[in-house]
Amino acid sequence: MAGLAESGSNPDVDLLYDINGLAKDAPGWLDRVMEYVGEYGLLLAIVLLVVWCWWTVRRRGDEDAASSVAALVWAPLAAGIAVLVNVPIRGFVERPRPFLDHQGLEVLVSGKTDYSFVSDHATIVMAMAVGLFVAHRKFGLVALVLAVFGGFIRVYMGVHYPTDVVGGFALGTAVALLLSPVAMALLTPVVRAVERSPRVGWLVRARGRGVGDGESAVIPGARRERAASERDLAA
């Protein structure tokens, strides 16, 4: 299957040249920016989104904080599992990088000698984005947009065919969604145990946050006593 896209007379290769052609027409500084963003920047941005979402969830202190944090833990785990699943896929398909079979491409990153299908970058960012979407819709939508943009950049850089990216998106999404019920069933009890710990419970819920109302819960029954005293004063 090494000749999966050796002909330039198919939509996959045509789209590759169209997108990569933008790199030829762009100024050098923009290509350098796109190279950095495509290799490191977008992945770092999605990781920061996961951290930001975790910080928001733990500070809010809702009743479902444990399940939300468990879903956030699943996001990077899903990315790691998806990459492992991709190892035999790449070995089976054995698709060379596009610049090895097609002339005239503007390759922004040299030294890529591994196989092209499926794109590891696309797999990782989409698995994390979908995992984040399961945990928090708003943060997840931002991550999904970043993941799609990241896939576009991989083609722009001349290191992947469009179908490499689409395959990565499909693989990352499948792993994150299909294994999510099992992952949540395993991770949620662990996170709830962490939440109950006096030492590391802050990782799940901020200190002094009540369940669902964000008020202090340092003294058990404090809200009930306060309400009773308010009734006595009113009487």
Residue 155 has pLDDT above 80, yes or no: yes
In whole angstroms, what is the distance from residue 67 CA to residue 74 CA?
Answer: 10
The residue type at 119: S
- Tokens 């943009």, located at residue: 149
In whole angstroms, what is the distance from residue 192 CA to residue 186 CA?
Answer: 11
For 177-227, what is each residue's pLDDT tens digit? 999 999 999 998 998 888 888 887 788 777 655 444 433 333 333 334 444
- Cβ contact 79:136 at 8 Å: no
In whole angstroms, what is the distance from residue 150 CA to residue 120 CA?
Answer: 11
Residues 6 or more apart whose Cβ sits within 8 Å of residue 81 = 127, 175, 179
For 6-19, what is each residue's pLDDT tens digit? 444 688 888 898 89
For 84-100, what is each residue's pLDDT tens digit? 999 999 889 888 888 88
Tell which wins on pLDDT, 175 or 217.
Answer: 175
Q: Residue 205: what pLDDT? A: 78
CA 162 to chain CA centroid, nearest Å: 19
Exposed, middle or buried, 230 (CB in 10 Å: 0-12/13-18/19+)?
Answer: exposed
Percent of the chain surpassing pLDDT 70? 83
In whole angstroms, what is the distance from residue 185 CA to residue 140 CA?
Answer: 21
Q: Residue 208: what pLDDT? A: 57
For 96-143, what is each residue's pLDDT tens digit? 888 888 888 888 887 778 888 989 999 999 999 999 998 888 999 999
- Kindly report each contact of residues 152-155 with a partner whose C-beta sits within 8 Å and lies 24 or more positions away, as own/partner: 152/19, 153/34, 153/37, 153/38, 153/42, 154/38, 154/119, 154/121, 154/122, 155/15, 155/16, 155/19, 155/20
Q: Residue 209: what pLDDT? A: 54
In whole angstroms, what is the distance from residue 95 CA to residue 130 CA?
Answer: 26
- Cβ contact 170:123 at 8 Å: no
For 55-79, what is each residue's pLDDT tens digit? 888 887 667 788 888 999 999 999 9
The residue type at 202: W
The mean pLDDT value for 28-49 works out to: 88
Three-state DSSP class for residue 95: coil
